[in-house]
Structure 1
Amino acid sequence: MHAVCYQEGFIVPANNSSAPNILPLQLHPAREALYHELHARPFPVIASPVRISHLALLLTDEDRERDFQHLRHLCIRYGVNPPADHETSFHQRFGEFEVRWERHLEFVTYTFLRPGTNSLPFSHPTLSMLPTDWLQEIPGQLVVALHLEVVSPEAEQLDREALAECFEGQRLVSGRLLEGSATLWSAFRLHGDGAGRILLQNHGLNDNQTGRLILRVLELETYRLMALLGAQPARDLAPELGRLDQRLADMITHLSDTEGLEEERQLLRQLTTMAAQIERYRANTMSRFAATQAYYQLVMKRLEELKELDAGPNFTLAAFFSRRLTPAASTCESVGSRLEDLARRIERAGDLIRTRVDLKLEEQNRGLLASMNRRSKVQLRMQETVEGLSIAAISYYGISLIRYLLGALEPLGIDINKDVGTAIAVPFVVGTVWWLTHRIKKIILQDEQTETASSESQDPR
């Protein structure tokens, strides 16, 4: 039977490529991907009993394509249709078991499922059915390795001895989930095979409900461990932030005692080095801390969706996760806040030192300008003195030339008293020399002002 949809009173096939296009509009290139996003990771339909092995691996950018090709190699090996390019999820049956593959932002998950048996839980995990060489070559760093088994409602409930054997005698945490429809047991620790173990007792869930419960439990364990990835970097960084904080306090205290410009420049260089170190810490940890907070919120959300019954005085899953996971998330948040606060304080201290340095430089510049002003005044007086002497010297030579000229007129029969003529020429010669000197000076000043105005108009600033 083909899926159908309704269109203007007519029933047409939902996925019929020959159906008329009723939206002759320009479509966004990501439109189909947006519709597909809500259905990319559907809830699985899983019947009880079932045995599941779950892996989550951190991937680098280089590992992503290698991981996708590695999955395709497994499909080719079992004669299964491989996933299409750019797919973020894949679900297919591989003979006796099923494979669910999902790519997330920074990690990838593999979930292997097969119907359970009546043997002891965890005695034959699904992971043992995978080719050993293929498992050894999976790209990425393994973070989560988990075996999860669901016991059917018809099976007898395991007693304390049987549970101890299943979990190698480790202390267990249990919870009644989905308002009592299922019971969970787990130590939330690694076991002898290097993986964690979770046992679910189904008390009456159908296949859809069982699939949703399994998916939430797997996400709970995956996000729990991913959230804890930021705890150790936060613990390692906290003492270093304490030392940097003390260094900054000492530098600010020493700042009030500094007087010389060179000392303040040395403090500024130290602050610059410290700021670079803080930026390196931020680049290495802030994304991890932000991811920790996001994963922590997802864990808390999944715990709410499990609808665990209150166990009274007994330890519940919610209490266990809150007691163990919340401090780690709070530590990451606290260290991240300290890192940001230290960066802001270093920036303020640097601004303060730069302000002090600028003020002292301005004071020195003011002194230099005052000294230059005094020198300019002295040079101006000297220039005026030289200018006066130049006028006198030029006038003297001009008057001497006139006197020689008047003396040369006597042989020509022109009787002119040289002394009187020279005396009469003195004011004219001195006035003419003075006028020419000031005229030349005015022309030079006008040319300088024109060049200055032209250069200022061409300055892009």
Structure 2
Amino acid sequence: MNIHPLRSHLYDELHSRPFQVIPSPARVTHIALLCSEAEKQAQHEHLQQLHGLFGCPVNQQDLNCYEYDCGDFRLRREKHTEFTTYTFINLDIPADADAFDVTGLTPLPQGWIESLPGEVVAAFHVSIEDAREGEEPALPAVKAAFEEMRLVGSSPQGGDAQVWASFQLHSDGFGRLMVVNKQMSDSQLGRLTQRLMEIETYRLMALLALPLARSVSPELGRMDARLAKLTQQLADKGEVDEPSLLADLIDMAASIESWRARLTFRFSATKAYHALVLTRLEELRENEVSGHLTITEFMTRRLTPAVRTCQASGERLEDLSRRVDRVSDMMRTRVELGIQQQNQQLLSSMDRRSRIQLMMQHTVEGLSVVAISYYLIGLLKYVFEAVYDAGIPIDKSLATGVSVPVVAFSVWLATRRIHHRFIQMARKEKPQG
């Protein structure tokens, strides 16, 4: 069989980012960093240093999804289009440790995480508690773990677990999530934790466009008013400074295209990230816990309006671009009509000049007949005198008088024939091109 060269890659893609298997209890730290391709390469080199510090073999290949397992400590790095994520899992938890006293970063050497290349967008700790055989944490203890911040909680997966979150930054500069495992297997717990981390990461990535949308909104308002003023000038029946108006339109179009170049990708990414968040929320299958907002309710109430603001700004920018194009087309049409009118006037003027030149040509032709006839008759007069002097009896005056009409008619006839010949040559000449 003729096998497609990408067949194996297509199969491998579905397994390139497998769900993690996480036992409980555990402490997980998830970090997402915006980075360029050069910073991704620098991150790979930075990760190799960590292998050396832990005394493990160095992996030279920079994979899209790389997992490192060192017993009670696991590390996972994933590369995405514009960011990378690091997931640190710590299974070495003292029995008397509180929820966030120990984190996924605890086993890391001092200073390694601080020197990680890239800009941190998401960074939060996940405390996974085991309540399969014991009691789940009391609500006061949960509030204390979240520094008395307002909580969002739910029972996902049909009540097999309980999730608490504040979706705020805490005193250590990290966000916090708590997952209480009631009766989930390690695989189910890994999938649930992965969904929660993706929800928080994609939520923050989606919100990156909100400050841009808010900053560009006043500019769009001013540009909208400016375009309305220019359109009104075109609609008014009066003299319009077309070069100045066209320069304003070009300046406005350049500004809009500059905004589109800076914002289109960000707004499109926000739409894609929001769709991923909604998909992950549906997969949670949440139930309400003791009157608290569920994660889905919280996200729908807070995230969706922000995303719609970004979408509205993007749509407004595209609408403004289309309107500027329409006004520019109107302006170009107006200029072209003016040029056509000037060309028509120029052609009419040329036609009048051509008729005048033709009349002058006829006049010149008439004068030319008279002049040529005069010189020819003068020559014939010399001929008649020579013949008379030779002894031939002729009446010089009579001969000269008779030759006048004959010469004049002959010259006129020759001039007309030459004129008609040039006209026939012009008609037979084919147009070039």
1:383 matched residue in structure 2:
361
- Measured at CA, do residues 221 and 265 of structure 1 come closer, stay the same or move farther in structure 2, by a change above 3 Å? same
Equivalent residue of 2:105, what SS?
Answer: helix
**Are positions 1:259 and 2:235 aligned together?**
no
**Are positions 1:362 and 2:357 aligned together?**
no
**Are positions 1:181 and 2:160 aligned together?**
yes
Which one of the candidate residues 167, 173, 191 is aligned to 2:170? 191
Corresponding letter in the other structure for 1:30: L
Corresponding letter in the other structure for 2:367: L
1:417 is displaced (CA, Å) by: 3.1
2:65 matched residue in structure 1:
89
Distance in 2 (alpha carbons) for counterparts of 1:283 and 1:424: 93
**Are positions 1:167 and 2:146 aligned together?**
yes
Residue pairs, 1:171-250, within 5 angstroms: 171-250=150-229
More divergent stretch after superposition (429-438 vs 142-151)? 429-438
1:149 is displaced (CA, Å) by: 1.6
Residue pairs, 1:56-205, within 5 angstroms: 56-83=32-59, 85=61, 87-94=63-70, 96-117=72-93, 118=95, 119-152=97-130, 153-205=132-184
Distance in 2 (alpha carbons) for counterparts of 1:359 and 1:81: 76
Residue pairs, 1:304-453, within 5 angstroms: 304-311=282-289, 313-441=291-419, 453=431
Q: Is the 8 A contact 1:228 1:292 kept in 2?
A: yes
Question: Paired residues, what number?
Answer: 430
Equivalent residue of 2:332, what SS?
Answer: helix
In the TM superposition, what whole-angstrom CA distance separates every residue of 1:396-434 from its partner, at most 9, and x where no partner exists?
A: 112211221222222333333333433444455334433
More divergent stretch after superposition (422-431 vs 126-135)? 422-431
- Measured at CA, do residues 302 and 428 of structure 1 come closer, stay the same or move farther in structure 2, by a change above 3 Å? same
Distance in 1 (alpha carbons) for counterparts of 2:292 and 2:28: 28
Corresponding letter in the other structure for 1:226: M
Q: Is the 8 A contact 1:255 1:264 kept in 2?
A: no
In the TM superposition, what whole-angstrom CA distance separates every residue of 1:43-68 from its partner, at most 9, and x where no partner exists?
A: 11111111111110111243233233
In the TM superposition, what whole-angstrom CA distance separates every residue of 1:185-217 from its partner, at most 9, and x where no partner exists?
A: 111111111110101000011111111111111
- Alignment RMSD (CA, Å): 2.3
Distance in 2 (alpha carbons) for counterparts of 1:150 and 1:42: 20
- Measured at CA, do residues 301 and 241 of structure 1 come closer, stay the same or move farther in structure 2, by a change above 3 Å? same
More divergent stretch after superposition (414-423 vs 301-310)? 414-423
In the TM superposition, what whole-angstrom CA distance separates every residue of 1:119-162 from its partner, at most 9, and x where no partner exists?
A: 11110212132234432332221100011121112354222332
Equivalent residue of 1:324, what SS?
Answer: helix
In the TM superposition, what whole-angstrom CA distance separates every residue of 1:193-248 from its partner, at most 9, and x where no partner exists?
A: 11101010000111111111111111111101011111111111112111111111
- Measured at CA, do residues 39 and 257 of structure 1 come closer, stay the same or move farther in structure 2, by a change above 3 Å? same
- Measured at CA, do residues 184 and 402 of structure 1 come closer, stay the same or move farther in structure 2, by a change above 3 Å? same
Distance in 2 (alpha carbons) for counterparts of 1:354 and 1:327: 40
In the TM superposition, what whole-angstrom CA distance separates every residue of 1:288-327 from its partner, at most 9, and x where no partner exists?
A: 1111111111111101101101458542111111001010
1:40 is displaced (CA, Å) by: 0.4
Distance in 2 (alpha carbons) for counterparts of 1:67 and 1:436: 98
- Measured at CA, do residues 434 and 88 of structure 1 come closer, stay the same or move farther in structure 2, by a change above 3 Å? farther
More divergent stretch after superposition (438-447 vs 343-352)? 438-447
Q: Is the 8 A contact 2:152 2:292 kept in 1?
A: no
Equivalent residue of 1:164, what SS?
Answer: helix
Distance in 2 (alpha carbons) for counterparts of 1:406 and 1:90: 122
Corresponding letter in the other structure for 2:244: Q
Equivalent residue of 2:238, what SS?
Answer: coil
More divergent stretch after superposition (139-148 vs 265-274)? 265-274
Corresponding letter in the other structure for 1:253: Q
More divergent stretch after superposition (237-246 vs 197-206)? 237-246
In the TM superposition, what whole-angstrom CA distance separates every residue of 1:229-280 from its partner, at most 9, and x where no partner exists?
A: 111111111121111111111222232335335x133222211211111111
1:353 is displaced (CA, Å) by: 2.3
Distance in 1 (alpha carbons) for counterparts of 2:290 and 2:281: 17
Distance in 1 (alpha carbons) for counterparts of 2:314 and 2:61: 38
- Measured at CA, do residues 383 and 61 of structure 1 come closer, stay the same or move farther in structure 2, by a change above 3 Å? farther
- Measured at CA, do residues 54 and 446 of structure 1 come closer, stay the same or move farther in structure 2, by a change above 3 Å? farther
**Are positions 1:29 and 2:5 aligned together?**
yes
Q: Any stretches of 5+ residues in structure 2 without a counterpart?
A: none
Distance in 2 (alpha carbons) for counterparts of 1:434 and 1:224: 98
Distance in 2 (alpha carbons) for counterparts of 1:426 and 1:138: 114
Corresponding letter in the other structure for 1:33: H
Equivalent residue of 2:287, what SS?
Answer: coil
1:13 matched residue in structure 2:
none
Q: Is the 8 A contact 1:289 1:332 kept in 2?
A: yes
Q: What is the TM-score of this pair, normalised by structure 2?
A: 0.92
Distance in 2 (alpha carbons) for counterparts of 1:397 and 1:259: 64
Distance in 2 (alpha carbons) for counterparts of 1:285 and 1:257: 35
Corresponding letter in the other structure for 1:356: R
- Measured at CA, do residues 450 and 53 of structure 1 come closer, stay the same or move farther in structure 2, by a change above 3 Å? farther
